[in-house]
Structures are given as structure tokens and as C-alpha cells.
Amino acid sequence: MYRRKTRITMLDVVVTTLLILLTAFIVYRLTMKLNYKWNWSIIPRYLYFFDESEGRWRANVLMQGFYTTLRLTIWSTLLAMFFGFIAGILRTTPRLFNRLVGRSYVELIRNVPPLVLIFIFYFFVSAQIMPLLGVEDFIRSRSPGTQKILGYLFSAPELFTAFLSGMFTIAVFQGAYITEIVRAGIQSLSRGQWEASYALGLSWRQQMTYIILPQALKRVLPPLANEFINTLKYSAIVSVISIQELTFQAMQVMAATYVTIEVWLTVTAIYLVMCMLLSLGVQWLEHRLARSEA
Amino acid sequence: MPFKAKGDYIIVVEHINKTFANGVKAVVDFTTKIHRGEVVVIIGPSGSGKSTFLRCLNGLEDIDNGSIIIDDIPLNDNEKNRLEIRKEVGMVFQQFNLFPHMIVLDNVNLAQRRVRNKSKAEANAMSMDLLKKVGITDKASNYPSQLSGGQQQRVAIARALAMMPKVMLFDEATSALDPEMIGEVLDVMKDLAREGMTMICVTHEMGFAREVSDRVIFMEDGKIVEVGTAEHFFTAPTEDRTKLFLSQIL
Ligand SMILES: Nc1ncnc2c1ncn2[C@@H]1O[C@H](COP(=O)(O)OP(=O)(O)OP(=O)(O)O)[C@@H](O)[C@H]1O
Ligand SMILES: [Mg+2]
């Protein structure tokens, strides 16, 4: 493969120097001139604390929030893939009605601000539908063991409804973007693949299952993995409907302690590290797929 | 094989028209009958509707009107009929269109397994026979991208034959190939013709036409201009347009 040589120009040096100077200046102003009492010592104990009664270290609110964010991200992404694949396939079927359904979903979601969508879902799904389904009662009636497992996988019983509506909201939202990825993946295949499998006598469903989806899936794997990162970032937005994920917990800690900047810097660092690790994973995946293409 | 016996009509095409959404009339009032075991070569300038005509025969394109009957099955809106016809009509494309995510053997197996519902062992046995026939046994577990163009096209022929079709359609099967690979694909096609397969081939390989075809159809602007044996086209074409076209390709 052709690789361009890394070369450092005069301009790079100048820009880098300026950036360093600017950073130094900001840090200087922050530490010397800012009317703000730094109090970093308080942060660690909101991450982990020593539980005297149990005699072991336990995650405190921030880390609990982080775990909720992770759980929320994983389940929402899976659900979003489910929505996205169904709608994405619908968008490529020959039937006009199917395409219309898929298209409406995407257009509806993409042309409404996410925050507004969340409120809609919250007041509709969480406040009306969930109690109707009796999810919370159902969870509470399970054995303690089951409740514990459910708590591990999803959320504690008292927060279950909120968790589900948060998950559902993000999934519906992200599903619209995954729909477009799936559609693009399917449409990126040459018409010849459809025609050859058609000529062999395969039904539409068989063409999809054996010919089109396996190839499309391989092509869209990196963008799909990327949506995982997007879901993680978007999950912060459900803090507005009191889902106790990382951002929500940060607001709680901030309200209780007034160590604003430290809390937000910590939270930023957690998101940043998570997303960067995932992003490295995606890059690795892309690399692998590119190599196996041959 | 000595002389082949010509049977009844396996393909009956009557007054078909095909107009594309953009208004292009690709096939105009096309009528022809093809005997079982007959080899028909279609020639004509680019855009004359050769591919479109072939694609109408297996339902890849819907006709506006007229009728197509293949082995007594009418090709109409009836999904069962259409499926039956797709099973009986094999097609080989200019661009091979092998399935790149499957090894050669699975490419040939696929329709046997999924459409004919054969067991894996049965399908494998038949596929290996077919691959032997087209001379690719040693590449059975390679991916299509690891094969040369000529090899890929021979696999594509094996793949179509795996459905045991009664008719084979070839749309410029050798046009995308480097010159040194054209021969190997034509040889496979000639063998097939000599074995009595009913074939409709869009090709400008007049040597092939002379060797194995029973009839050559010259079409232009979606219509049949002249029909005759290959010999007729070489020695005494009657239409001016045919002469002009032949002078360009020969
Ligand atoms: N999907 C389509 N939509 C619109 N017009 C089409 C389509 N396919 C073919 N055509 C037009 O129909 C006419 C016949 O095309 P066709 O591909 O059948 O010609 P051909 O004889 O196979 O040509 P070539 O030798 O270049 O393959 C052309 O004018 C072409 O532009
Ligand atoms: Mg053509």
C-alpha cells in the first residue's frame, strides 16, 4: 500500500507552538486568576467509596452513573439495530408501502430535535404505556435472585420503568440513523447480485438472507460500530428525564457539593476515554475488514 | 455428439414489447419460436435491445404486452409460473456476478440447496461434476476474487447449470474477458451446445456462431431485421443494415 511520508512543515511548528502557548495561558489564568477554589480531593470518593458495613469498596454515584450509561448504551444499540435493520430492509423492498413506512420513520425522527423526541417519548411511553404494561409490578413480583440479575443487566426495580423508556427513546432515535446505514449498505451492492440470484430461482427472502445481507453487513460493520459510540454520547441526553446515567449523576453531585468544574472535567474524561477506546476498536475493525477484502 | 434432434418449440415469444420508464422502446413487436435443443445467436449494435430481450425471457424485465411461453409455462403475473421459469432458465451475465462472499463450490451449491432443497452431499457431488466439466476442480474452495475472469465466467456457467435448466441465456458472456480467456469460455459453451442444450447467446463471436449456432438473429432498434444461418450472414446478408453492421464487427 502506498503511504505518504510524514513531514513536519514550518506551519505545523508555528501552529503547535501557538496552541501550546494558548493552553499555558488558559491554565495560568485558571489557576492563578480564577475566582474559584479547586477541590479535586472530593472527586475520588464520588467514584468509589469504602463501605464500612460490608467491608469493601463500592461504586459511588458517578461510577454507578457510568455503569448505567454503559448498560443503556448496549441495550439501546441492540434495540436500535433491530429497528434499523427492519426499517432499512423495508426501505429497499420493491413494495411501495414498505418503503413508505421505512421512509416515514426516518424522516419523522430526523426532522425533530432529539430533546423534543425525548420529552414526547417520556410523557407518552414512560408515563402512559409503561404503567399500562405493568412492567414495574412485574419486576417487583419476581424473586430476589431474578431481581438482582435484572438489576445487574438493566436497572434496579424502582428505576426500571425509567430505564426502559430511556432505552426505548434512544433506540428509536438511533434506529433511524442505522436504517440509513443499512439501506446504504444494501444499495451499495451491484444490481448484478440481485439479478444473478433471481435468475437462479431464489425468492426475495432467500436473496436477502444468503446474498444481499451478508455482503451488506460486512460493508456497514464499521459505520454500525460507530453508531455504538454515537449512542453512548446521545445517552447523556436522557438525563433530562431523570435517568440516572453519568450526566444526571454528575448534576446531582454538582448540586450537592458545588465542585462544578472538577465534576464536569471528570465526567468529560470518562466519556472521552470510553469513546476513544471504542473508536480504536472501530478502527481496528475497519483495518481487519479492509485486509480480508483482498 | 453427432447430429442433434430438434424437438418441439420450447420457447414461444409472440409480439412482445418492452418500454422502459424513460420512454425508450427497447423491444418492439418481437416474435420468435425456438426449438428444444436449438442454439440461437443474437447480434446487433449497442442499444438495439439484445440484453433487454434476454432479460424478458426469465422475467428480469416485465413486458408491456405480447406473450412468452417457456416449456408450456406462460410467463405472466402468476408468481408460481415465474418461479418455475426462473428455475428452468439459466442465465450467464457479462459481468459474471458470482457471489463474492462464497467460495466457488458454495456459489454452485447455493441454488441446489435452497431452491432444489438438495442435501449438502448431493449438491457437492453435482457441483464437483459441473466444475470438472468447466475445468475448475482445483479452485473449488477459492473465493471468486482469486480467480481469473475466464475462470469466474466458467464458474458462473457451472452455477447456472446446477439448476439443470432447460434453456441457457448468455448475455455477452465473453465481452468482459481478456482475449486470451475468451477461448476457454467459448469452448465450454460449444460443448454445451453440442450436448443439446437450448441456448440463446448474445455475442459477436461469429466463429462461435458459425460453429454451433442453428440460427442467427440480427436486431436493431428492438426489432428483428434479419434471420438466417451463420453461413447466410457470412455469405449473403440481404439487408443493408445487416451488411453495414457485419462490416464493422468482422
Ligand atoms: N433499465 C433501463 N432503463 C431505461 N432504459 C434502458 C434500461 N436498460 C436499457 N435501456 C435502454 O434500452 C435500449 C436497449 O438496451 P439493451 O441493453 O437491451 O441493448 P443491448 O443491445 O444489449 O446493447 P449492448 O450491446 O450495449 O449491451 C437502450 O437504448 C438502453 O439505453
Ligand atoms: Mg447488452
For A230-251, what is each residue's pLDDT tens digit?
Answer: 999 989 988 888 888 999 999 9
Is B90 within 8 Å of A211 when comparing Cβ atoms? no
Q: How far is CA B177 from CA B95, B174, B181, B208, in A?
A: 9, 5, 6, 16
Confidence class of residue B6 from pLDDT cuts 50, 70 and 90? low
Q: Is the pLDDT of residue A275 over 90?
A: yes
Residues ≥6 apart with Cβ < 8 Å to B127: B105, B108, B109, B112, B140, B158, B162
Q: Considering just the CA atoms, what is the radius of gyration of chain B in Å? A: 18
Q: Is the pLDDT of residue A82 over 70?
A: yes
Among residues of chain B, what percentage have pLDDT more than 70?
97
Find residues 7-46 of chain B whose CB sits inside 8 Å of chain A.
none
Residues ≥6 apart with Cβ < 8 Å to B4: B37, B194, B196
Q: Is the pLDDT of residue B3 over 60?
A: no
A280-287 average pLDDT score: 89
Average pLDDT over chain B, rounded to an integer:
94
Is A192 within 8 Å of B110 when comparing Cβ atoms? no
Q: What is the pLDDT of residue A1?
A: 52
Q: How far is CA A228 from CA A79, A163, A181, A274, in A?
A: 11, 18, 13, 11
Alpha-carbon distance of B226 to B216, in angstroms, equals 8
Residues ≥6 apart with Cβ < 8 Å to A83: A105, A171, A172, A175, A176, A178, A179
Residue minimizing CA distance to atom 24 of ligand 1: B46
Q: What is the pLDDT of residue B2?
A: 38
Q: Is the pLDDT of residue B20 over 80?
A: yes
Q: Is the pLDDT of residue A182 over 50?
A: yes
B86-104 average pLDDT score: 96
C-alpha cell at A14: 508555528
Confidence class of residue B63 from pLDDT cuts 50, 70 and 90? very high
Q: B115: CA distance to ligand 2 center in Å?
A: 28
Confidence class of residue A294 from pLDDT cuts 50, 70 and 90? very low
Is B89 within 8 Å of A199 when comparing Cβ atoms? yes
Is B99 within 8 Å of A211 when comparing Cβ atoms? yes
Q: What is the pLDDT of residue B4?
A: 46
Q: What is the pLDDT of residue B118?
A: 95
Alpha-carbon distance of B120 to B106, in angstroms, equals 10
Task: Out of B60, B114, B160, name the one closest to residue A210 (CB).
Answer: B114
A interface mutation test: which of B97, B106, B159 has the most A CBs within 10 A? B97
Ligand 1 atom at minimal distance to the Cα of residue B55: 18
Alpha-carbon distance of B107 to B159, in angstroms, equals 6
Q: What ipTM, to 2 d.p.?
A: 0.93
- Residue ranges and CATH numbers for the domains of chain A are 62-293 (1.10.3720.10)
Alpha-carbon distance of A7 to A22, in angstroms, equals 24
Query: Which range among A176-190, A279-293, B142-156, B188-202 shows the weakest confidence by mean pLDDT?
Result: A279-293
The distance of B157 to chain A (nearest Cα, Å) reads 11
Alpha-carbon distance of A184 to A88, in angstroms, equals 8
What pTM, to 2 d.p., does this model score?
0.85
pLDDT digits (tens, 9 = 90+) for B136-171: 999 999 999 999 999 999 999 999 999 999 999 999
pLDDT digits (tens, 9 = 90+) for A12-62: 999 999 999 999 998 888 777 777 777 888 888 888 888 888 888 888 888
CB under 5 Å of ion ligand 2: residues: B 51
Q: What is the pLDDT of residue A3?
A: 64
A273-285 average pLDDT score: 91
Ligand 1 atom at minimal distance to the Cα of residue B49: 18
pLDDT digits (tens, 9 = 90+) for B37-57: 999 999 999 999 999 999 999
A interface mutation test: which of B52, B83, B108, B115 has the most A CBs within 10 A? B115
The CA dihedral of B108, B10, B199, B4, to the nearest 10 degrees, is 110
Q: What is the pLDDT of residue B80?
A: 94
Alpha-carbon distance of B135 to B12, in angstroms, equals 34
* Beta pairing partners, B31: none
Please indicate whether residue B72 or residue A2 has the higher confidence score (pLDDT).
B72
Which sign, positive or negative, has the C-alpha torsion B175, B176, B182, B186?
Answer: negative
A209-225 average pLDDT score: 92
**Strand ranges for B20-54 from DSSP E:** 25-35, 39-43
Residue minimizing CA distance to atom 4 of ligand 1: B20
Q: Which of A235, A195, A180 is nearest to A67 (CA)?
A: A235
Confidence class of residue B34 from pLDDT cuts 50, 70 and 90? very high
Query: Which range among A204-208, A289-293, B14-18 shows the weakest confidence by mean pLDDT?
Result: A289-293
Which sign, positive or negative, has the C-alpha torsion B83, B87, B88, B91?
Answer: positive
Q: What is the pLDDT of residue A145?
A: 85
Q: What is the pLDDT of residue B7?
A: 64
Is B111 within 8 Å of A201 when comparing Cβ atoms? yes
Average pLDDT over chain A, rounded to an integer:
88
- Asked if B171 and B54 count as a contact pair (C-beta separation under 8 A), the reply is yes
pLDDT digits (tens, 9 = 90+) for B208-241: 999 999 999 999 999 999 999 999 999 999 999 9
**DSSP label at residue A161:** H
- Count Cβ neighbours within 10 Å for each residue of A64-83 and write b for 16 or more, e otherwise: bbbebbebbbebbbebbbeb
